[in-house]
Structure 1
Amino acid sequence: MSKIAVIGSGSWGTALAIVLADNDHQVRIWGRSEEQINEINDLHQNQRYLPDAKLPETIKASTSINYVLEDADTIVLVIPTKAMREVLPQIKNHMTEEKLFVHASKGIEPGTHLRISEIIEEEIPSQLRSGVVVLSGPSHAEEVSLRQPTTVTASSVNIDKAKYVQDLFMTQHFRVYTNPDLIGVEIGGALKNIIAICSGLTNGLGYGDNAKAALMTRGLAEIGRLGMKLGANPITFAGLSGLGDLIVTCTSVHSRNWRAGNMIGQGMTVDNMLDEMGMVVEGIRTTKAAHELAKKLEVEMPITNGLYNVLFHGKAPQEAVTELMGRVKKHEVEDLKLGDSDPLNHLEP
C-alpha cells in the first residue's frame, strides 16, 4: 500500500483518488474550499464536480497541504497549468525528502512554452523528486468515477517510474499502458484541447460530421508537426494520448473544451462563456502558448492560429473557417514525412 497525496479536488483529481483508493492505497486530497473538503470527508461525495459518484470512505481531504503531504511517497498533481507556479512552491516548502511526482494535467505554459513536467523540474529541486511521470489519455472523469472501462498512458524518461505508476493505478476498470515518449504524450494531451474547442465551435455554427472529421484529422496533423519539431515520436500521436484523447475530447459533451467552443460558435463572447462555464478551460491558454511556440519554431498550424484569432482578437468564427477553407492547395501528407526511410516519401505527388 502506498500513501498518495492528490493535489486538486476537481473532477479529475477526485476520479483519480477513487481509482487509487480502489487499489487500497491511502489517499489524501488537497483542495482550497473548506465546504468541498467537508463534503468529501463527511458525505463521501463531490457534488459540484461528480454528482453521481460515491467516494470510498477511506479517502480523506484537507485544505492543509502539510497534512496531505505527510508521509506521502507519491504526489499526484491534478490542477490547471496556470496554478502550477503557485502551488508547486507551497509543496516544496513542506517537503524534506524526495517523492515521486505524477501529473495528470494537460497544458503548455504561455510565455515560457514549457510542458508541465518541465515546470515541475524548474520548481522542485532534483533532490526532492525521485522522478516525474505524466498520466494521460482518453479519460472523462465522470466515467472513471463510475468505474467505466478506461485506458490511459503513463510516461516518463525513466520507464521504471512509468511502470511503477502503472502498478499504482491499474485496476480492472482502469487500464494503464506505458510509453517512454514523455514529450509526445504531453504535447498530444495538451494540444487536443485546442482541436476540441474548434470541434465544439463547428457544432455551434451548425456544421455536421464532415467538418468535425476534417478538424480532427487535420488537427492531428498539426499536433504531429509541432510534436515532431520538439522531438516527439510520431507514433505516439496514433496512440491513447494522441488520437485516443483527441477523439474523446472532440466528440463528447463531457468535454469542457468542446462545450466552450460550442458556446462561442453559438455567438457567446469568450468572457461570457467563461462566466457560464465556471471552470478552467485549459485549451484557451494552450491555444495562446501553441500559437506562440509554432511561430517561434516556424511550424505551420493553421487551425490553431485561426482559433487564436477568434479567442484573442475577436475574429468571427465563420470568418476563421472561410480563411481555413480558402488556403492554397497542399499535399495531404508531405509535411508529415519522418525521414529518408519513410514510405510516405515515395508516394506519387
Structure 2
Amino acid sequence: MSAFAEFHDELRSVARELLGKAGDGPVPWDAVARAGWPGLAVPEEFDGAGAGVAEVALLLTEAGRAAARTALPSVLALSVPALLAVGGDALRDEVLRAVVAGRRVPVVVLGSDSPFGEGGTGATASDSAAFRLAGGRVTGAAHFVLDAPTADLLLIPARDAGGDAVLAAVDPDAVTCTPVPLVDATRTVGSVTADGAEPRAVWRFERPFALGARAALATACDSLGIAEAMLDATVAYVRVREQFGRPVGSFQAVKHACADMLVRVTVAGHLVAEAVRALETSAPGAEISAGMAKSYATEAAVAVAGSAMQLHGGYGYTWESGIHTYLKRATLDRALFGTPAAHRRILAARYRA
C-alpha cells in the first residue's frame, strides 16, 4: 500500500509540474504522450500502463487544479474505456496503440447538456445513444460535445436496426462539427451532426459501458481540482495581504470563510473518493456514488471559486489574478452532464420508488 501511495504522489507531482508549465495556453499533446498519460488505463498488451480508475481520477483532478486546456480528460474518462468495452479487432487494437503513442486523439460523441435522460448516471451506451446506424451509415446529432473540434477520430455510440448498442468510428471529415463559443476558454465544445456518415468501423459492446457514471465522475474530479486550487491560492493570499497593519487572514470573518471553503473541499473529496472506489470495483450502486459526487463537487467548486474571488478583494476581479478562469471553468462543470438539481431529482426518485 505504501508503494501504491508513493506512486500516486509521484504521479501527482509530475502532473502538477507538467500541466502548470502550459500556463494559459493549451497543453502540448506530445508532452502528454511522452508522460504516458493517454495510455494510463490501457492494458499492457496494447503497450499501456494498465492502471485503474484511481490513477485516472488523480490526473483528472490535477487537470482541474491547473485549469488545463487539453483533451486528456475526454480520452482518459470516456474514449479509452469505450474502446475497451467493445469487441476487439485489428483496427480497434491499432487505435488503442495509437492512443498510447500519442498519435490519436479519439473523442466519444456524447452530448453534455443533459443528465442522460431517465437513465441518469446509470445510463449505458445504448441508453445515451443519440445516433442511429442503418444501412451501414450513421445518422443523428449531439450538441455540446466536449473536445469534438480537436478530435482526429470520433467514437459515436449508436443503436443499430435491432436496437443494440454499437460504437462507430467516424472520421471528423465525414460529419459536421460546429464549434460552440464558450465563456470558459479552457475547453472546446462542438455540435456534431451526422447525415449518413460512413464509419471506418462499427464495434459491438461486449459489456455495459456506463457512460453516465464515467462522465459524471470525470466532471466531479475536475471540479474537485478547481476547488483545491482556489482554497490553496486563497489561504496563501490572505496570509500575506495586509489591512490595518495586519494580515487579513487574521480577521475572524476571513477565517470563517476559509473554514467553510475547507469543509466544502473535504466533503467533495470524500464523495469523489467513494465514487472512484465504487467504479473501480464495479460495486452495486456505483452510478449513485458518481451522481452524488458530481452533484456536490461541481456546486462546491462554484461556491469555493466565488469565495476565492471575494477574499482576494479587488485583485480577485482583475485579469491577472487568474481566478476568473477557475470560476468560469467551475460554472461550466456545474452545467455539464446535468445540473446538480437534475442529478438530485434522479437520486431522489430512487428513494420515492
| Structure with the larger RCO, 1 or 2 (CA within 8 Å, 6+ apart) | 2
Q: So what's the TM-score if we normalise by structure 2? A: 0.29
